[in-house]
């Protein structure tokens, strides 16, 4: 029964991410993925900064603050790079190719997510093939 539920979840995940990737296009998917990674890095740096402030480790706190500032600068630079590329994807020939690549990227994301779900379920003992 657990295998059937896992297969249904993976199938729905593949359909959802492929459709969303086709709708967005590859460049928007990359921009969204990049912003998600930067957000996770910011949350990790903030948690480390709070922990180091509580432990009175000022050098670690300073490094976290500098890291947050650098992440903000990198994110702004990436935003400046992606805006013209996203505008270029509105051209008919490039846009259709971008959408197909977006669907492929969405399927790849679904594969990675399915692998993570599988290993988490296996680690917790909920599901084993």
The model's pLDDT over 115-126, given as tens digits with 9 standing for 90+, comes to 998 888 888 887
Q: Work out the pLDDT band at 128, boundaries 50, 70, 90.
A: low
pLDDT for res 66: 93
d(CA 25, CA 63): 36
Confidence band for 110, pLDDT divided at 50, 70 and 90: very high
Looking at residue 20, its pLDDT comes to 93
Crossing angle of the two packed helices 26-54 and 2-24, in degrees rounded to 10: 110
Alpha-carbon distance of 122 to 129, in angstroms, equals 8
CA distance 39 to 125: 30
pTM, two decimal places: 0.71
- How far is it, in rounded angstroms, from Cα 27 to Cα 21? 10
Q: Where are the domains of the chain?
A: 25-124
* pLDDT digit string, tens, across residues 54-89: 888 888 889 999 999 999 898 888 888 888 888 877
Q: For position 129, what pLDDT does the model report?
A: 63
């Amino acid at each position: 029964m657990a295998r059937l539920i896992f297969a249904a979840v993976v199938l729905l995940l593949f359909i959802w991410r492929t459709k969303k990737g086709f709708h967005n296009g590859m460049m928007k998917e990359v921009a969204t993925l990049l912003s998600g990674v930067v957000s996770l890095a910011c949350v990790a740096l903030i948690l480390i900064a709070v922990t180091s402030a509580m432990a009175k480790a000022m050098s670690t706190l300073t490094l976290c603050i500098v890291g947050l500032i650098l992440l903000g600068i990198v994110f702004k630079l990436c935003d400046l790079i992606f805006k013209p590329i996203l505008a270029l994807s509105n051209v008919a020939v490039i846009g259709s190719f971008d959408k197909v690549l977006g669907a492929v990227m969405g399927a790849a994301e679904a594969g990675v997510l399915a692998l993570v779900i599988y290993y988490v379920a296996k680690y917790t003992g909920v599901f084993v093939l």
